[in-house]
Amino acid sequence: MSLCEVCHENPARFVCSNCGAKVCPNCFVPSGWLCKNCYKAEVAEEPEALPLKYFFLPFALFIIAFALIFAGFALMTLSSPENCTSVVVVPPFFVATSEPWLALLLVVAFLLAMLVLVLVLTRIAEGFTKRS
């Protein structure tokens, strides 16, 4: 029986699936069927997780898109005939009102809230960008 090609001490019982080295049970990683050297090289090659700053733009665009859809629905609702007494706004917010100015006020309040949210998220993303 040949000796382990990694530690050169124990008898070899396994063969590395990457480099073909004969290795002992102490120098063998069964989860990947690799020797210790190949396993360390494979772990070192794994990419790091993306920083949070890369997730900010898609999230901010989603919030902006949601606000624009909300505004579009609200404008369609407000453009309905004058005799319509109820206004239904985009889910998850359902609002019924007999006063069109109140519906407009709610739309403006929502849009301002979205603007504030985007500004706050921008500040947070700038903080992450400076750190990384």
| DSSP conformational letter for 11 | B
Going by pLDDT thresholds of 50, 70 and 90, the confidence category of residue 58 is confident
Residue ranges per domain, the chain?
Answer: 1-46, 53-131
Q: 18 CB contacts (<8 Å, ≥6 apart)?
A: 34, 35, 38, 42
Which tens digit of pLDDT belongs to each residue from 93-132? 556 666 767 777 777 787 788 888 888 887 877 776 665 5
What are φ and ψ of residue 64, in 5° steps? -65, -45
Give pLDDT, residue 106: 76
Going by pLDDT thresholds of 50, 70 and 90, the confidence category of residue 13 is very high
Going by pLDDT thresholds of 50, 70 and 90, the confidence category of residue 16 is very high
Give pLDDT, residue 42: 81
The DSSP string of 37-69 is HHHHHHHHHSPPPPPTHHHHHHHHHHHHHHHHH
